[in-house]
Structure formats: structure tokens, C-alpha cells
Chain A
């Protein structure tokens, strides 16, 4: 939250001693407010003033580390206002009440989801282990141990301190979050989490969560995450929105923490509804989004959505330059060339795959811009294509010697023919959607 110069001036010594290099304390305060000088340039600030001012300059939402992942730390509600900084995590839900077959099935299905998409590894980052009062501490510990064996980060929710302790001990280093702290047990849970784990706070409603967070902060713990799941879908959405609004727009630092949303509790056994909710909470303020299980059917759209939403609007998404053989293409198949803008890659490769025609797709380094933009910027030209051919030794490796050029840069045909004399340069379509027919009819 930005401080005003006058607020700083009120806390300054007001002696105009000039030791900071400014003619007056007022001038110094104004510079600090603009961010031009830091507070410690003034040797006479009282300790009380410093603590007040540093509290006021704290970010509105804390950044919390869960294993190697960072959560929270957002400064805007929507990505176009600046950018979102920390993507959410996806988790699966295991409960000691479930029978072992169900637990094993969920682990097996979810661990099988592990793939790469545009340079990012897509996998289930979190396993949410619930240790309810109905089950013995031993059973809860056995489940935590099994979950820990996957090597993923664990969130452990326990009904009481005994079960929490048993499950935490059994999971070793895998446990990253202890969830289930509430108005009644917060002291005992705080002692268990102290210094090692993020503490997850829940409550009957937002008011109760707010009170518990205040108590925990009073006890010195600011390494928290808020379970906003609530009793219904409507309540969960409302909670997630209200907490983020309070933190970023309302200046309420008590709610300046990331969140957990457990869709497995909101839509029991309904995987499609869970996928729909996980999508909603990816956009609106879930930091750890939990589902029953993660199949490829759910993962493909959800991870793709997350990858889209958590891109910086000022930086284009790029794919790695190189040769992408499609539909079983080999050195005797025809070739085409385009740019490394991720959207171009996905749309064009999708249409090429739909055509069923074996084709080698050449992705050149065009700075991550679209065909026309990169052409206008000189990043996609006969010269850059020739360089790509040299870098990847294309002329020696590919025998077919047909290169299809995007229709929008038909103008490059002549120069390319001069630079790549062995190749037959063919002008393709201006839109990706026309590619299927173009390729099927191409001789």
C-alpha cells in the first residue's frame, strides 16, 4: 500500500537537520513516498516510527512458500491490471475414511499425470491428506506415510493435535502445510507448525477465520493459508472473492494470505463439477485447488488454463524453436515453417494434426510474436528462416524439399527461393483454419 508523503512527515523528527541530504524533513518524506529514497537515510527516525512505517509499506498479500512453490504475493485483482505473479497449485484429496482401494486408485491415476507443455512440467503438486476424528491416529499416520511416498508436497488436515502429530511424524519432510487450525485448537496447532510448516486456518465463517488469524498473528505466526471452502459452492466462491478483495482493495492485512479451496468437499464424487469449480477457482482466487483425483481429462484443460492465466500480459508466451514432426512425419515428408508464438504454434499444429498429413513443422525463433508482428519487426524473414535452416542443418536432414510458407508472408517467397535454392517454396493459407483442406488437396 502506497504511503503518502504527509503520513511519513508526521512521523519524521521534523528537525530539518539535513543529514539525509534533503533540505527539510518534508522534502525527505516526499522522496521516500515516491520511492526515491529509503527510510534508513534518516538517522533520527524513532523505533516506533520505523515499525509503523515498515508495517504500512508491507505488501498487501504475503508470499507464502509451500515446498518449492510460492503462493500469494498478488498486488492486483485481475491480470490485465498488471500481472498475476504466483500460479495456483492443484492437489488431490485423500481421507483416512476412504478404503485403501480408493486411496490407491486416486494416487495411481493422479501420479500418471506428468507431462510437459510449453516448457512447464504439469503434475499434481499437492496431496491433501485428511485425518478425521473417526479414524485412529495410527491409520491417519499410515495414510500420511503412503502419501509422502509419492514425493509430492503434503497438506495435512487433522481433527485434533494427536492426529496432526501422528500424521506429521509419519510424513517426514513431505508435509508442508498443517491445515485444520480453528478457533478452538489454534494454540496447539500453532505449536506443532511453529517455524517449520505453513499453518492452514479454517472456521465456520469468514469472521471466525479472521479472528483466528488475528490471534495467530498476535502469537507471532504470519506463515498462514486460509481454507475458504465453506459449506456450499456459493459460500466458497463468496469467501474466495471477499478474502482477496479485503486484502487487495480493503487494506485488510489479516486476510492478506493465499487460500485453499477443496472442490472434493463442494461436489462429492462429481468429477465434472469439480473440474468446472477448479476452473472457476483458478481464475478467482484459489491458491491450492483440491479435487478428488486428477485424470488426464481434467488435467489437460485445467493446466492449460492455468498456464494461460498466469502469463505476464506484457510478455508473449513462446515455444522452443525446433522441428516438430506431426502425424508420423519423417525426412521424406513435406515441411512448413512458422513462428514461436505459443498461440500460433497451438492453432497451427492443431490444424496440421487434424489434416492427418505427415508434415514437419519448423518453429523459428521470432521473439514470441505472431507471424505478421514478427515479420514487421524483422524477426521472421527470409534471413531468419535461412538461419534456422543452418542452425538445425535442415537441408542435409530433410529430403522432400517442399517448404510451406504462411500465406500472410507470401512476400518472402522470392527471397527465400534465392536463399534456399534446393527447396520448392509454396505459399500456404492465410488462416490456420484453411490448412486442413489445403494439405489434403496439396500435391
Chain B
């Protein structure tokens, strides 16, 4: 009798949000199908892979390929330029770890100077990640948004504690994009989107960071939250959950023990860099399968692999 596949295309769609400007501008979202199901309907916009660069150079002990990739880079701008040249990279994520008051405590002026240096080094869209300190992040996001007013960057993240400042300064004043960060819970995610839109932020300026976890570290919560968010967006046409999803995978995977234990400490585990790459690749693939529209990765091999997987699925 044979088998005829039925395409599953919904009447609702994930909202489209544009990051960056010019030829390299990137549109996230637009799908009317379940995640990655291009066989149901051709992708309007492919999911995207971005590269993380921190103002503090990465730990390279045990990571010869990563070290070699950035060899010869003398400044933050050099590293940003090199990162943007990775095969498959569609945007660059500037991670200002050094702003942390409990760490290097770089001043707002220093961070603005670094952001400008980065902007001059690449024309890919920029995503700005702070140091997790709510007060400092508000200050640097506001200042960087003013300094990069013509680049249409995405600021990660606006949380319940600081969405007002970041929403007003970055999205409403400068027309930039903000990432609404919630902790792996569909209700909190929706509530934050509602609050931000009530404040006056356009829904198309919002991208959701639903939270992440490395594979094996409670990933079931990430998968089920994303499954439920996508179901609400597509099946129930819930406009407050239709924003595209961006997941900072590298922030999670590079700090779990599979990625940081040296081969000397765990000889049977084998090469440390292979472990770190596979942890990043497996987590990224699982996020995209569950519904991320963009993932942020660190290692050139991971970026290449995930970009190739997405190209093969298109």
C-alpha cells in the first residue's frame, strides 16, 4: 500500500528577529514546523551558529587545537576577527567576563572600548553577554548599546531583576535586541516576555534565552521546556512564546568536569580536547533538536560540525 508522509505545517510561526546590519544581518525564526523539520516545509531561515569570544583569553591548557586557532592574536580585536572567520560562524558573541566586580572588575569605559574594538574587527552581527552581575551588566549594556548604536546587537540577557533598564536603554532607546533570560521554566519565560512588551519593547526585539544545561546535567528540563514552548507557540499560537530561542551552549559545557578534568587526572577518559568538543557538540545538537534557533559555541571544530549538520538538514 506504500506510505505517504503528511507534512506537519502549523498555522502559526516562530517570530522573525533580525540581528546585525547590512549583508551579514541574520534573521532568526520564521519556522512553521517542529524544530529542524525542513522536510515538512523548507526553512525560511536556517538555525544559526555563533562563536563565543571572551575579553579574558580562554584557558588553553589541554586544548592545542583551540590554542592554535587563536595563535598570534594579541588583542581582543584580533581574537574577535579570528572567531568571525570560523567555518560556519554566523554571529559573534562578546562575553565580558572581565567586567565582574568579583573578578577583574574592568570599568564600563574599558568595556565600551573593547566593544568598539570588536565591532571594528568584524561585520558579523554581535551578541553581547555580560558578567552575570545584575548591576554591572545594566551599566555595561547601556553604555555598549549607545556606543554600537548602528550595529543592531543583541544583549544577553535581560532578567526579571534588570529587564526594565535593559529593555528601555537597549531596545526602546536604540532599537537593539534583548535576550529575555529565564531559568528553564515556560511560565517564567512567558511572564518576562509579557512584562517586557508591557514596558514598550517590541516583541520583534525580543529573543528568548530559556536557560541551558550541559548534556547529563539536568538536560531533561531544558528539552521539555523547549518542547513545551514550541508547542505553545505553534499549536496554540501563543504570541508571547513565539520569540526565537538562543542558547549559550558554550557557557554551560566548558565548565563541567568532562571538559575541565585533565588527562592526567582521568587517564581512562582520554584526550581532554576531544571530550570538550563532544560535550559541546552533543549539547548543541540536543538544543537545536529541541528548538533553539541559534546556539553559541566556542571551539572551531564544534562550530564547523554543527554548521555542517544544519547544512545537511536544510
Contacts and interface: CB of A to CB of B under 8 A. Distances in A.
Given A210-B1, A284-B289, A297 B216 contact: no
Contacts of B312: 232-234
B165 interface: no
Interface string A185-215: 0000000000000000000001101110010
Contact count band on B: 35 or more
B97 to A, nearest CB: 13
B284 interface: yes
A79 B216 contact: no
Contacts of B290: 283
A300 B313 contact: no
A276 interface: yes
Contacts of B182: none
A300 B3 CA distance: 38
Contact of B255 (A298, A354, A437): A354
Interface stretch (A163-171, A305-313, A329-337, A384-392): A305-313
A148 B5 CA distance: 38
Interface residues of A, number: 60
Interface stretch (A100-108, A236-244, A421-429): A236-244
A298 B309 contact: no
Interface stretch (A342-350, A371-379, A403-411): A342-350
For A112, A211, A252, A272, the residue with the greatest tally of chain B CB atoms inside 10 Å of its CB is: A272
Contacts of B279: 300-301
Majority DSSP secondary structure for residues of B touching A = helix
B271 A297 contact: yes
A276 B281 contact: yes
B298 to A, nearest CB: 14
Interface in B137-190: none
A200 to B, nearest CB: 18
A95 interface: no
Contacts of A241: 34, 37, 39
A232 B39 CA distance: 12
A255 interface: yes
B19 interface: no
Q: Which of A80, A211, A270, A343 has the most CB of B within 10 A?
A: A80
Nearest to B277: A272
A307 B216 contact: yes
Interface stretch (B66-74, B191-199, B256-264): B256-264
A394 interface: no
Contacts of B283: 279, 301, 305
B115 interface: no
B82 interface: no
B99 interface: no
Interface of B: 1-6, 8, 34, 36-39, 102, 214-221, 223-224, 227-228, 231, 255-258, 260-261, 268-271, 274-275, 277-279, 281-286, 288-290, 301-302, 305-306, 308-309, 312-314
30 contacts: A78-B224, A79-B223, A80-B224, A117-B216, A207-B2, A211-B1, A233-B309, A237-B313, A238-B5, A245-B8, A272-B302, A276-B284, A276-B306, A277-B309, A279-B215, A279-B281, A279-B282, A280-B286, A283-B290, A284-B289, A296-B268, A298-B278, A300-B278, A301-B279, A302-B282, A305-B282, A305-B283, A307-B216, A313-B220, A350-B255
Interface of A: 78-80, 112, 117, 206-207, 209-211, 214, 232-234, 237-238, 241-242, 245-246, 250, 252, 254-255, 270-273, 275-280, 282-284, 295-298, 300-305, 307-309, 311, 313, 342-343, 346-347, 350, 353-354, 437
